Chains A and B, each alone.
Chain A
Amino acid sequence: MTDSALRIANVSKSFDKPVIRNLDVDIASGQLYALLGPNGAGKTTTLRMVVGLTPMDSGHISIYGIDTRRDPLGAKAITAWLPDEPMLYDKLTPSEYLAFVAGLWKIPPAEAAQEAERLLRWLELWEVRDTRCEGFSRGMKQKVALAGALIHKPRLLILDEPLTGLDAAMARSVKDALRAQVDAGATVIVTTHILEVAERLADRIGIIADGKLHAEGTLAELRAMAGSDDMTLEDAFIRLTSPMPA
């Protein structure tokens, strides 16, 4: 067994120009890790490489010790990906969507149905379980997608801007859901622009800029790196990602 939930080793990726440069990240299991960075820093590209949506040019990625290149299906089986735009079928109902996702992850029907009911009730979607998603608000769609991500009980849950467009109550229930996953032993990685979320929720924070990891640590450690123990994460973030004065 390994204590590392996600290990990104010397990974690079270029499109027209280099986006990720020799990135090294090691995230221990059982924690909520927030990945921060300015727009275009390479956060989403990094996470898409982890879940196999974008091929890396070089380097290695392993999830709970499983190399994503050697055993992609094994790595995918224990991972869930929740992008900022929910991966939903508008013409399916939440129940049907969860049945489809459970089928893709090969969860036995009886077990999947039980878990689906629990998730739908917990996320307050039970009453609309037979309503097609096409009429749902963004927040409801996000919750259906979250249920889909959780139905196969992933050990690593990766979320890209999960709170975008959600109202306060909805954002609160998503944050509670993420914390509950960590408490249950899973590892959660989130990217977010809302620094307050990272400040309150994350066990550790990584700051990525120009395709490299600029800083990483707990909130206190980041403050220390930025040179002041009482500054906000926002101040620390700006100081750590700003170009150094000549």
Chain B
Amino acid sequence: MRTEHSWTEVGRGLVDLRALLAFRSAGLNRRSRRRLRIAGGTVLLLTVAAIVVPAYLRAPLHSRDAGKFVAILPTLYLGFLVLAVLAAIASGGGREVVPREQAVAFPVSSVTEHFGALLLAPLNIAWLLQAWTIIALTTYVVGPTALVAAAVPLLAWIGFATALGQALGWVFEGIRRGPHGILVARLIAATAIGAVVVVVLADQLVPLLDRSPTVQVYLAAAYPSGHQWTAWAQVVAVLLAMLVGATLLGLLPARWALHRPLREELRLESGHIEPRPNPRSDLRAMVRIDRASIWRAVPLRRGLIVLAFMPGLVALAGRLEWDMVTILPGLVASGGALLFGVNTWCLDGRGALWRDSLPVSAGIAYYAKVIVLFEVLLAAAGFTIMLAALRAGTPTAAELCSALAAAVVVASQVVATSMRWSVERPYAMDMRSARATPAPPVVMAGYSARLALRTTVVGLLFSATALADSWTIPALVAVPLLSWSAVRLVRTAAQWAVPEVRARVVSVVAT
């Protein structure tokens, strides 16, 4: 048996993971540790609340029809699995506990990489929200009897879906790193999207979802309330076996994928890039370099394509109506900012020092980043709205204006927030690898939660204005929100103009 397939190596991989986590946490100061403890405690508290509170809510709300939730629960469980798969694929197989550049001196095995990526998968607001949603809706339906037992199959399913998503993420990454990998990966993605489109157009989506085997998860959660312990134990045992199996099975594609060369990255780094005419202004010159830094980075390019397509395709499949389309730009803008915007100077990497030594005003350097981030977020959000519009019917003037205003407002809001974070909390991050993130995983989880909360509130606001009689209502609502974002951007620009602040940012990202 090869070393990396042995049980000894699995044990060693776990020990190494502990060492990497300790290395990572050693870099935290006292304030960061406190924040981490608070965040961990909050997540735990919210998870317990998601299990307990809805179960006890059911009694006073019993007149409500819980049946409609029962009908959608298996689909939601399946949706969680799809999310886990897509997240692992989009992140090149999963996040790194320690960035590749820092870990290069250590013998980090694919076993450690796999367990590390699995451990970091929940540090994502989309994962957490979906997990809380399926837990809360299920316990609302099954009620407070034997609540802990009801939660066990749910947690096992969440674990299994995450582990399977991780394993499939490695498989996809391995394919992508192979000869003609990009082409094959695109063909697979196009086939999957095509299959969904065919199923949707043939009106077979709902019948197909109704036959989802995930109904067993719901039944297992419901068995304790009927004291059907044998049936419960059987399903739980199967789910736990599937969880362990998927976790261990993932080691094989992880090893396969991680031992393959990074073809797309190497192709980008060794390819000839045709020179363009000389820029006609300082701002254009700066913007051009920033655009190149985004579109030539594998994780950013891939992430933006996924973000532009996926929410739109989900809206398309679910035939989202215009008053709900307003939620989508917030999701896309938040996701886009999390690709690089929250630490936007990381685009310059080690070139930040040289760029700052060029004779250009701090304002131009700052607004070049603002323009590039804004245009990327707006383009992705606009594309999503276009996709959603295909099946959303003819909008009223208020609905159309609300969707467009939501896109512009959340994009500007996210840009303002991202620029502030970029100036106040820079990180040295190499965005070369498809698994790279612009900030450490725990920080990213905090950023994603805050962005999701803010943009969802704005999305809901425009969801309400979509019901108005006149398009002027969403337009009028947008004006103060845009003005506030502009004020925040100008404030951050003033911070950036301070030489000490600029020196700290460029010194950190160039480290």
A, B from the same assembly: no
Identify the A interface with B (CB < 8 A).
none
Residues on B facing A (Cβ under 8 Å): none
